[in-house]
Structure 1
């Protein structure tokens, strides 16, 4: 309680002094003059991302190595520019001979992410991916996951997609490890750049006008439509706050009972099958796909088939015993689920970089 109280007070102070038009963390960063030591044994990154660089980077991460800080800055800044140009709700179709794989929370479980690419196939222009938020925190390879996903986003900007989750936010990152991990492996500026890039990520993806994919769930008002999401200016505020559409998209959860109820999380709300039915019918959708919660089988179909939860961090925090899952969607727009078990990883505990006193709290 004492540690939590310290974090709450610190966050309140930081919010009080936060300036919405603060300069970018990239300001004054001269990448062209930043030298890479001759002793650096990794592949060099030039002006464009390559598959060879990604594969070399992934192998370094598997070996417990880092990439040069210059390349970290380069990847984050480039991807931030890419996602800033995307709409708040990205709209995609699945072309013939193509597939899109929808993944839920990965939470810093890098070696399980590698298993996803083994099972689902590596990203390519025809093998698209959508990661539905919560890439970071909890697990102790969050920088590795974020850099891997960002590198693929740079390489395949029109076929690799990222939705923001509630853990792509400053208050979560301060408490659950990502900020500390950035500092430990790189520096404070890397975290600030990631934070800035997280606030630019889209909040939802519409697949084939049939599936509305967002991290949390639906809204407190039945009048909210997909057009309201399209019009939502996600750049007005960097953090989701305690109310509003952005907060609800990142934080809400389904409930079995009709209507709406208070959230067990203390922020957001819970929505019932009738709420989901009305939203889908109003917007011509088959279902919503969301993440945000552990499911023991990796996924769950609820609300008469209209609400699907997918969670892609198996044996969450090395303690839960759940399976992970992902969803493949082809040009016929049928949902094909794959469940998978956790794989072995080096002996580094979850929350290894969390705020002092928070280690071990799941």
Structure 2
């Protein structure tokens, strides 16, 4: 029996080393598989659970990451990395107070570790800020960030040679100059950046939580998935599929920012086109258009670095007004995440959902932003720790109840950039080809994936620009 255990331990170590190599290459899915195989060989290793927890964090499976980190701690209460992982999981789930306890444990164990101190201090600030906001919310109405901004007091210096708004408005010439400036890694002036945010906030405020979109016969309508701060891939979409216009409408389906290095450039480009073509360019909220995600995955820090804390706060306010989903020709529902924990949800329920807030932990808004499809029937707890996983029967019942043909969603990396599930009734499209920079995604990196919705196409096809074309 002892010989067999040693063989299993040796195999577990070998699998762990293989998994570590895939993790270094950012192939987190393969790493998770190998860590899981290693755990089967050695289920008593806290290191294996903590490593898999880290890989789950990278793939935003926060629920699984939390479970693994807790398991690692139960196996070895002195294993500091496990507390790190659990704290990061709780932060991603918006549970800062729970995260703070673990960051405090790490900081006490490693008082000279700069990163441990930084994480503990950042989390402490967030907890204090949340407590302060709860306190003032009881007795007063918080003044909006937009009300505190005075555009007229901002001066455009003569030394600024970037794009200029014309009478405070976005034009097609401005958008071309803006994209050219961003390609050269130049910056939009502070005054114009604030003007765009204030104007787009007013525009989103005027729109409902569910937007009905009419697409004329023989016209195409392009749906793009996650962009995640990849400006040059965004430019490639426009190069291959054409710039947005009244004749070439787009819907960008959430997660415009975070992870990528050019989130500011992506979001101002998208907001600019929204202002230029308000009836032909659409944007839906993703789970990363939230304060917690932006704090964890880079957007807040990028905005503060390129502009200011005040602008970062304004972005949070603007994101609260992003529509939650779109219905194309009363036939196709497009949302970032997925479907619901109840069968009785209707489109009218979505229309009446209050979205001007941070994403809640459950309910319609949460599930629209966070849920994922699963191959088996029924519903399951989410691998992310938020939302649910829903099966083909759930999709079929929702479509029948609401007289829809299928749903389009994003939210998940797919090796081909898109995936058809649930008998073709649930389509995932993901448009950030360098998201993990995984070697197995090399072929996909040469593509840009989006969806062309048309009336008269006859089959599903894939090419360098379109995820698929779906029969009406």
TM-score by length of 1: 0.89
Structure 2: stretches of 5+ with no match in the other structure: 1-82, 89-98, 100-119, 466-472
Shift of 1:24: 1.4
Q: Which residue in the other structure is 1:262 paired with?
A: 381
Shift of 1:337: 5.5
1:23 and 2:150 aligned: no
Q: Which residue in the other structure is 1:102 paired with?
A: 223
Partner of 2:170, secondary structure, is coil
More helix per residue: 1 or 2?
Answer: 2
**Structure 1 pair 50/337, CA: closer, same or farther in 2 (3 Å)?**
farther
Query: Which whole-Å deviations, capped at 9, do the CAs of 1:241-268 have from their partners, x for residues lacking one?
Result: 2112111110000000100001111111
Q: How many residues align?
A: 339
Q: Which residue in the other structure is 1:319 paired with?
A: 438
Partner of 1:309, secondary structure, is strand
1:329 and 2:329 aligned: no
Partner of 1:206, secondary structure, is strand
Partner of 2:148, secondary structure, is coil
CA distance in 1, matches of 2:130, 2:294: 14
The answer to whether the Cα contact below 8 Å between 1:107 and 1:313 also exists between their aligned partners in 2 is yes
Query: Which whole-Å deviations, capped at 9, do the CAs of 1:188-215 have from their partners, x for residues lacking one?
Result: 1111111110000000000011110000
**2:364 aligned residue (245, 248, 255):** 245
Aligned runs of 1:1-362 on 2, under 5 Å? Answer: 1-2=83-84, 4=88, 5=99, 6=120, 10-18=125-133, 21-45=141-165, 46-96=167-217, 98-235=219-356, 238-319=357-438, 321-322=440-441, 323=444, 324-332=448-456, 338-340=462-464
The answer to whether the Cα contact below 8 Å between 2:284 and 2:326 also exists between their aligned partners in 1 is yes
The answer to whether the Cα contact below 8 Å between 1:273 and 1:303 also exists between their aligned partners in 2 is yes
Shift of 1:285: 0.7
The answer to whether the Cα contact below 8 Å between 1:328 and 1:337 also exists between their aligned partners in 2 is no
Partner of 1:133, secondary structure, is coil
Partner of 1:18, secondary structure, is helix
Q: Which has the higher contact order (CA 8 A, sep 6+)?
A: 1
Q: Which has the larger radius of gyration?
A: 2
Q: Which residue in the other structure is 1:355 paired with?
A: none
Structure 1 stretch 215-224 or stretch 226-235: which is displaced more? 226-235
More strand per residue: 1 or 2?
Answer: 1
Structure 1 stretch 10-19 or stretch 248-257: which is displaced more? 10-19
CA distance in 1, matches of 2:303, 2:157: 21
Query: Which whole-Å deviations, capped at 9, do the CAs of 1:258-288 have from their partners, x for residues lacking one?
Result: 0000111111110000000000011111101
CA distance in 2, matches of 1:255, 1:70: 46
CA distance in 1, matches of 2:434, 2:418: 13
